[in-house]
Amino acid sequence: MKTNETGKPNRYRIEALAKGLDVLRLFDESTTTLKLREICDRTGIPMPTAFRVVATLEEEGFVERLPDGAVRPGLAVLTLGSAALRGASIVQISERPLRQLAEATGETVNLGVLRGSDVLYLARIRNADLVTANIQVGSTLPAPLTSMGKLLLAYLPEDEARASLAGFDFGRAAGPHAARSVDELLPRLAETRAQGFAVQDEEVAVGLRSIAVPVFGRDPQPAAAINIAVATSRHSVDDLRGPLREQLSATADEISLRLRAA
């Protein structure tokens, strides 16, 4: 049993809960999936106990099981994380510039980060007419289908990008122009990295386009991505690459400057 600062056992500690938290702490940006044996080896939790802990976490949505038996963090973890992230500096710093961008363009704008093969939405200012009206802060979308996801994947080394997409089902329901394999996606990522922005043209869903650019802090890797999402009935791909990209890039520059100064 762990002790408190006085060196005495903590009589309020719930061991079963602590074991569940120990399992969740195993996951990070470099460890996105784990088998039950790996969980036992890394935590020292006996196999029968680990099985029950993982089963409970799965039932409550904190982990989800993959076809090969491995588990990864579930939506409940991402939702809890997004609540904390909403109070983090990047969301606070981005809020005003994003709102000004939404007002200037009349379109939906988003801020997101990469979480494995998904994009986690940290901020969203939505135009009521947008197709994906069900997306909100804390929601996730498949990274290979989205402009923010492709943008953030493009800044990863190829082996890391492939690892992030391990187990991703490219045959899942998506828009008509979505990549259908990793090998089809990688050239698109290379083009994205070279041009510094990503366009999504009916890859998430029919009738939806978006463009994303990176936001940088003090590190060479993007801290996040921001995008403008539009209906195809209102804007062409040329619109995205032209005036909307200029407005988006100016907003990203402002957020990046604020991040580096924070």
Which position has the higher pLDDT, 216 or 30? 216
pLDDT of residue 32 exceeding 50, the answer is: yes
Is residue 208 within 8 A of residue 232, CB to CB? The reply is: yes
Residues 6+ apart with CB under 8 A from 41: none
> Using DSSP, how many helices (H) and how many strands (E) does the chain show?
10, 8
**Domain positions in the chain:** 15-73, 78-261
Q: Which long-range contacts (CB under 8 A, 24 or more apart) does 61-69 make?
A: 62/20, 62/24, 63/23, 63/24, 66/33, 66/167, 67/167, 68/167, 69/35, 69/36
> What average pLDDT does this structure show over 63-71?
91
Reply yes or no on whether the pLDDT at 262 is more than 50: yes
The answer to whether residue 77 scores a pLDDT higher than 90 is no
Nearest Cα residue to 214 out of 248, 260, 244, 187: 248
* pTM of model > 0.85: no
* pLDDT for res 81: 64
In the three-class reduction of DSSP (H, G, I as helix; E, B as strand; rest coil), residue 13 is classed as coil
pLDDT of residue 4: 45
Q: Give me the mean pLDDT over the 77-91 stretch.
A: 65
pLDDT (tens digit per residue) in 210-246:
999 999 998 899 999 999 999 998 899 999 999 999 9
| Closest to 102 (Cα-Cα) out of 244, 234, 224 | 244
pLDDT tier, 91 (very low <50, low <70, confident <90, very high otherwise): confident
Instruction: State how far the Cα of 143 lies from the Cα of 116, in Å rounded to an integer.
Output: 8
Using only the alpha carbons of the chain, give its radius of gyration: 20
pLDDT of residue 13: 81
Length of the chain: 262
Q: Please compute, for residue 168, the number of CA atoms within 13 A of its CA located in the half-sphere on the CB side.
A: 25
Q: Are 144 and 170 in contact (CB under 8 A)?
A: yes
From the list 201, 208, 197, the residue with the least C-alpha distance to 246 is 197
**CATH T-level fold of 15-73:** Arc Repressor Mutant, subunit A (1.10.10)
Q: The CATH number of 78-261 is which of 3.30.930.10, 3.30.450.40, 2.40.128.90, 3.40.920.10? A: 3.30.450.40
Identify the helix (H) or strand (E) that includes residue 183: helix 182-195
- pLDDT exceeds cutoff 80 at 89: no
Q: In terms of Cα–Cα distance, which of 207, 212, 167 is closest to 189? A: 212
Q: What's residue 139's pLDDT? A: 84
Question: What is the pLDDT of the chain when averaged over all its residues?
Answer: 88
- Of residues 27 and 78, more confidence is placed in 27
| pLDDT tens digits for range 158-193 | 999 999 998 899 988 789 999 999 999 999 999 999
C-alpha pair distances (Å), 107 with each of 132, 140, 254: 13, 20, 19
